[in-house]
Chains A and B, each alone.
Chain A
């Protein structure tokens, strides 16, 4: 079973990754309600052992799964002007940023890393839904552009892992402009002939879905991931009707022609590696 060997990584790495002991030793599956021991979840790529529900991942868990032997280099990202609009709602934007940073230990909602996937050179961008809903602001835009430029520099594929509720309202129109800027970055990457693979994870909506997330050469989605433009509540209000079962889920998008494949997380790295290999080496040197 190739996916198994591909998934199992050195034990040492797994131990090092879980330095912080989870507060809850048991986690409740949001899909089937089963209580699962955290170690069991960890060994199963954070997938429910009962119903196959894919739990949301932390950035570190995601990067560990994506790259060979959980080895990768995180890239330093450009700094941007903080709080460009001097925005405050019930809380000030700097306060919201501060607490998100404290909670996630990361400067903003995007992390960029480079390494290999099944031996294929790749740069990965990973969005963090726990950082202000994975919202896209100017920091994200610059990070995304940096990631595509790095891929070009390293002659590597770019794998973008999305998880976002959309644009960052606290940056107003500046966040909306990131839809254009990220789309431009994708365009430049494609001009260089480098593969752009999007991995859509739970949830991917709003301005993120309506820009770079839907422009992959190949679109891969995780099982059960919520993917769409408008929020389900807004749609229900508009059409005054209940939405069908499975609406805006990965499988729904696949059957409506919006994504290429829905891939089990345990096979993900193998799939990505194969895709990159196929796209980048038109003639195989392996015996056939």
Chain B
């Protein structure tokens, strides 16, 4: 892996990775057997370190993992889980916002609508998708696609991965606030199940706009928060450097959200995080979504709608 792939707490992991790779490059000598043994020894050591490190990530470390540039993004999930995917563009009001990817396709044979934020993987795609920060058009496209899902009785799968809605001039001009509010409202309106999966960063209003769902899943090392730790730190601690403290205080990890009754399930990530094995992460997510959707097979449209309403009415209420 290149250096971009390592987080600041992964120094020893990077070291072993490098040594393993180095040994694998040595070829043609007589003592191959010894080398193999050394490699497998290092691999065992690596597994142990990965397990240990990832078992006790701090909330701030999880935030970093959730934002990892190599982490599978929305389009990776679509490519891995959806067949016959047809990308659908535009809000029919102003424009096309590629920060939100949407379309129809088949999930395990069944027609579904997919909506998610895409952050991009390199400079070109990051710019194309505006780093996953949607403008009003993105949310209005989401509303349009939810209506489409409702009309043709297709479940909605959303993939949440955004630092937040785009805080720019044009967004305000065109009603960012109204667009998000309407997207939340649209989530409540549909008579089909919505399964939302937080795959990386669930950033505030821009995230919940497409996460008002019958089932809310989170990847093990993803985060979901009312404000970024940096933003919170700069307001409450008056110092953006205190992000670590803010991350702890905000209770933004998947485990916290499960305890708080805000999400339904946590999807276990591959050893060392989803970025070390994107394929496995995507497949496990597919399993979890499939399980979540099955709960609604025998429900009427009205029951599905009501179930979602009751869930949110009860949510955050003390027992």
Interface residues of A (CB under 8 A from B): 80-81, 84-85, 87-90, 138, 141-142, 145, 167, 169-181, 183-184, 186-188, 206-207, 209-215, 227-231, 234-235, 238-239, 241, 243, 247-248, 256-258
Closest to A248 in B: B172
CA distance A19 to B266 in the complex (A): 56
Q: Which of A141, A145, A180, A184 contacts B208 (CB 8 A)?
A: A180
Inter-subunit contact A215/B182 (CB<8 Å) = yes
Q: Which of B174, B181, B232, B315 contacts A183 (CB 8 A)?
A: B181
Inter-subunit contact A169/B184 (CB<8 Å) = no
Inter-subunit contact B226/A181 (CB<8 Å) = no
B199-231 CB contacts (< 8 Å) to partner A: 204-205, 208-209, 212, 224-227
Inter-subunit contact A229/B172 (CB<8 Å) = yes
Inter-subunit contact B185/A89 (CB<8 Å) = no
Contacts of B257 in A (CB 8 A): 173
Number of interface residues of B (CB under 8 A): 52
Contacts of A235 in B (CB 8 A): 167-169, 172
Inter-subunit contact A167/B226 (CB<8 Å) = yes
Inter-subunit contact B309/A230 (CB<8 Å) = no
Contacts of B316 in A (CB 8 A): 84, 138, 141, 174, 177-178, 181
A84 CB to closest chain B CB, in angstroms?
8
A151 CB to closest chain B CB, in angstroms?
17
Q: Which of A184, A227, A229 contacts B188 (CB 8 A)?
A: A184
Interface residues of B (CB under 8 A from A): 165-169, 171-178, 180-182, 184-185, 187-189, 204-205, 208-209, 212, 224-227, 232, 235-238, 245-246, 249-252, 256-257, 260, 262, 309, 312-313, 315-318
List, sorted by A's number, 15 A–B pairs whose CB atoms are closer than 8 Å: A89-B245, A169-B226, A169-B232, A175-B226, A180-B184, A183-B185, A183-B212, A210-B176, A214-B182, A228-B172, A229-B165, A229-B171, A238-B167, A247-B169, A256-B174
A91 CB to closest chain B CB, in angstroms?
9
Closest to B139 in A: A210
Inter-subunit contact A213/B169 (CB<8 Å) = no
B184 CB to closest chain A CB, in angstroms?
5
Contacts of B246 in A (CB 8 A): 89
CB-CB under 8 A for A173 and B225, given A183-B184, A229-B167, A230-B167? yes
CA distance A51 to B84 in the complex (A): 62
Tell me the interface secondary structure of chain A in the complex: helix
CA distance A235 to B252 in the complex (A): 25
Contacts of B182 in A (CB 8 A): 214-215
Inter-subunit contact A229/B226 (CB<8 Å) = no
CB-CB under 8 A for A258 and B235, given A173-B225, A238-B168? no
Inter-subunit contact A81/B318 (CB<8 Å) = yes
Q: Which of B177, B227, B237, B238 contacts A210 (CB 8 A)?
A: B177
B22 CB to closest chain A CB, in angstroms?
43
A108 CB to closest chain B CB, in angstroms?
14
Contacts of B174 in A (CB 8 A): 256
CB-CB under 8 A for A179 and B205, given A212-B181, A229-B165, A235-B167? yes
Inter-subunit contact A174/B262 (CB<8 Å) = yes
A188 CB to closest chain B CB, in angstroms?
8
Given contacts A180-B312, A180-B315, A214-B182, 19 further A-B contacts (CB under 8 A): A80-B317, A81-B318, A85-B250, A89-B232, A172-B225, A172-B226, A172-B251, A173-B251, A176-B205, A187-B185, A207-B226, A211-B181, A213-B177, A228-B177, A230-B171, A230-B176, A239-B169, A256-B175, A257-B175
